[in-house]
Chain A
C-alpha cells in the first residue's frame, strides 16, 4: 500500500503542505491565491508542530494497518479499503460521536471547527487523482509517497 513517508529532519516548517491540504479540500474551489486562510471551512488534515528547540514534527494520518479510528466507529463511516489501504471516511454516514478523535493515538483526527458534525480526515486526495496535494507542495522532499508493506 502507498503511504506518505516523512523525514522530520528535512521539514523547515514552511506549511506549504498545510496550505495545499486546505486548498485541496475547500468547498468553493480555486487556486491557492484565493484561499481564504481564516475561513473555518478550510481546514487542513495535517499539522506541522513546532517544538521548543525550533524543530518541526509533521503529523499526518498514517492510514494505519489496524486503525483505531475504524475500530471505534459506531456508524460505519470509517472504513479501511483493503485494496488501497486508505482509511476512507463517509461524511454522510458519520454521526459525529467523535469516538475516533478519542481513539487516534497520534491525535490526528479532529471535529470540524465550524459545525461539529463531521471529522477532518486525510483522504489521500483520492478524488483529485495523482499524488496527495501536501506531497506535491513540499519544497524540501520532507514528505513523499512510497509503497510499503501493510
Chain B
C-alpha cells in the first residue's frame, strides 16, 4: 500500500504519523512546497527573532526517519490524475499512489484594491517563506502597513514591534480582532499595542496603493483620503483553501473540495483534511482531521464529528483570552452576562439555559469545559455570572475500569 500526502503541516504530518502507527509496512510519501517543517501559528516567533526556522518546527528532528516517511520537500504538485492514481510534480516527476491525502492548507487572499495585486513588496504572513521575505525586507525604522487586524495581522504586528518596527494596522471593522473579541476586550489589546508603538486605522479601508516604476508600493491610500507612506505591505485579510492545482479534476468539481463525514473527496481513495478540506481553519481541527483521514485511508471506519471551529485563544503582552462562539451577535432571546475586575473581563451568551458563546480575557484557567458545554449544547446547572465559576466538578463522572473522566449531563 502506497500512501501519498500532499502538504507537510498540521493535517498532513499528523496523518502521516497516524498511518505509520497503524500500518508498519506501507509506503508513506509526503510532498510539500515547504522545504522546512514549520508551525504556521509560530511564524511571529521567527519574524521577531525569538526563534530560528528550526525552532518553529512542530515535530521532532528525526520525525521522517523515525516514522519511515519519504519527504519530497520544496516540490509543487501540479495536478492529480484521479483515474491513473498519479500526482504530477512541477519538476516533471510523477508519483503514484493507492491512497491520496490532500492537506495543502490555505493561501492568503489579496483583496481587489487597485495597485495591490502583483506588487513586489506585498507579503502574506502564512508560510515560513513569507516570514523570510518580510525578514529580508525589514530594516530598522521600516515603515510598514498591515492590512487586516485578525490573528494573522496582529501576530505580524507583534513580531515587528519586537524588532523595533512600528507598523500601521488598517482594519475595516470598528475594532481589532473583530471576529474573536467584542469592543471591550479588543480595546484592552489595542491599548497594549499602541503603548508599544503600533498605530491603528479602524473603520478604514485601503482604497488604493501607490506603486513606483519597480512595482513597489510606496503608499496605501485609505478611503478617507489619508495616505500611509510605506516600505512594504503585509496583507492579512483572509485565506482560501490552497486547492487550485485540482482545478478541472473530479476531486474538486466546483470551487471547493467537498468531503463527506469520512473526509473522502468525491473520488475514491482520495481524501482531504485541514484547511484544504474547507471544514474549519484552525490547528486543532486540522490535526484531528489528519488522524481521522489517516484511519480511514488505512481501512478503518471513522466519522469526523468535531465540526465546531469558532474558537480561538489569544496571548499578546501576557494578556490571555479565550473565545468560543460568536460573542457579538446574541440571538433575540439570549441573555448576556458580563463580569469585570481589574484583571479580568468575562462575557457569556446564554439561550434557553444553554451556553452559546463565551469570552474570557485575563484568567482562562480551565476554560476548556466551556467549549465542551457549547459544542454539545449542554444545559447549564445554573446561569447568571456564577457560570464563570463552573468547573468539571459539576458534571463529574469517573469510569473505574479505565480511569477516564466521564461527563455526567
Contacts and interface: CB of A to CB of B under 8 A. Distances in A.
B368 interface: yes
Interface in A65-104: 65, 68, 71-76, 95-99, 101-104
A88 to B, nearest CB: 12
A47 B372 CA distance: 19
Interface in B392-409: 392-394, 396, 398, 400-405, 407
Interface in B356-387: 363-369, 371-372
Interface size class of B (residues with CB under 8 A): 35 or more
A29 B282 CA distance: 40
Contact of B404 (A64, A72, A101, A108): A64
Contacts of A8: 396, 398
Given A57-B396, A148-B401, A75 B39 contact: yes
B45 interface: yes
Given A101-B322, A148-B402, A71 B365 contact: no
B111 interface: no
Interface string A15-41: 000000000000000000000000000
Given A71-B284, A97-B315, A110-B366, A102 B403 contact: no
Contacts of B288: 71
B10 A146 contact: no
A99 B403 contact: no
Question: What DSSP secondary structure best describes chain A's contact surface?
Answer: loop
A3 B402 CA distance: 9
A113 B115 CA distance: 47
Nearest to B55: A93
Contacts of B401: 148-149
Contacts of A104: 366, 368
B369 A5 contact: no
Nearest to B404: A62
Query: Chain A interface: which size bin?
Result: 35 or more
Contacts of A49: 391-393
Nearest to A69: B368
Interface string B36-68: 000111100100000000001111100000000
Given A51-B393, A96-B315, A101 B58 contact: no
Nearest to B50: A95
B165 to A, nearest CB: 21
A74 B41 CA distance: 7
B283 interface: yes
A91 B285 CA distance: 23
B405 A106 contact: yes
A109 B312 CA distance: 15
A116 interface: yes
Contacts of B59: 76
Given A76-B58, A98-B315, A3 B391 contact: no
A59 B315 contact: no
Given A71-B288, A72-B287, A75-B58, A98 B313 contact: yes
Given A49-B393, A62-B403, A149-B402, A74 B366 contact: no
A109 B393 CA distance: 14
A95 B319 CA distance: 14
16 contacts: A3-B403, A4-B403, A47-B366, A50-B393, A51-B393, A57-B391, A72-B287, A74-B283, A76-B60, A98-B320, A102-B312, A102-B367, A102-B371, A103-B284, A104-B366, A109-B366
Q: Which 10 A-B pairs have the closest CB atoms?
A: A107-B366, A72-B284, A49-B393, A110-B365, A57-B393, A104-B368, A3-B403, A76-B58, A107-B369, A98-B313
